[in-house]
Amino acid sequence: MGTKGEERARKFAAFEEKCAALQAAGYAMRDKTVSIGRANWLGLLSALPFAAAVLVAAFLIPHNYALVGFFWADLALFFAALFVSIPVHEGLHALFWAAANGTFRGLSFGIAQATPYCACETVMSRGKYLLGSLAPFLLLGGGLSAAGLCLSNVTLAAVGAYNVMCAGGDLLVAYRALFCRAEKLLDHPVRCGFYAFYREKKS
């Protein structure tokens, strides 16, 4: 088994160990994950209303397209911004999960089915999990969209809308975390989503 296979096995073993420890401590466990492929489609549907609202608003107000005022430079900047957004997106997950948990330990990055991801091995409260999950949507998607609308710049708003769409899977996971009412959440090392842990009621 190669290095990647060994790392994958280590992640699953650590994940299963934490699940077992929580169950031994009296928590009931529920699987709140979906496959990466399914998350991509459902995520697009989740993010589409937000992205559409940004673009419609950008075109309804007086607007311009220029970033620096030169067509080819603006075009290059636009596509560079789309490309750079991808690693920044995953970095924001890591940064905010690290801030919430007080450590960068347990964070990992990877690509599954051509989809980059950041996973966190730390057991978290619902609030901490949501903080890291929604950071790219709020900062990259919401922040750049708001900047584009405030500056009446369709190109910048389009970068924001793109980042909103990229956060579709995060929105899908956040919806599940927000309404699951679990006390503890554990991010899945490969699949999209988490395992939710509830205190079992004593009879």
Over 80: is that where the pLDDT of 41 sits?
yes
* 161 neighbors 145 (Cβ within 8 angstroms): yes
pLDDT value of position 1 = 46
Confidence of residue 201 (pLDDT cuts 50, 70, 90): low
Q: Calculate the average pLDDT of the chain.
A: 92
Over 90: is that where the pLDDT of 114 sits?
no
Q: What is the pTM for the complete model shown?
A: 0.90
Over 70: is that where the pLDDT of 192 sits?
yes
The predicted-structure confidence for 46-68, as pLDDT tens digits, reads as follows: 999 999 999 999 999 988 999 88
Q: What is the mean pLDDT of residues 10-20?
A: 91
Confidence of residue 202 (pLDDT cuts 50, 70, 90): low
Over 60: is that where the pLDDT of 193 sits?
yes
Collect all residues with Cβ–Cβ distance below 8 Å to 12 and sequence separation of at least 6.
Answer: 189, 190
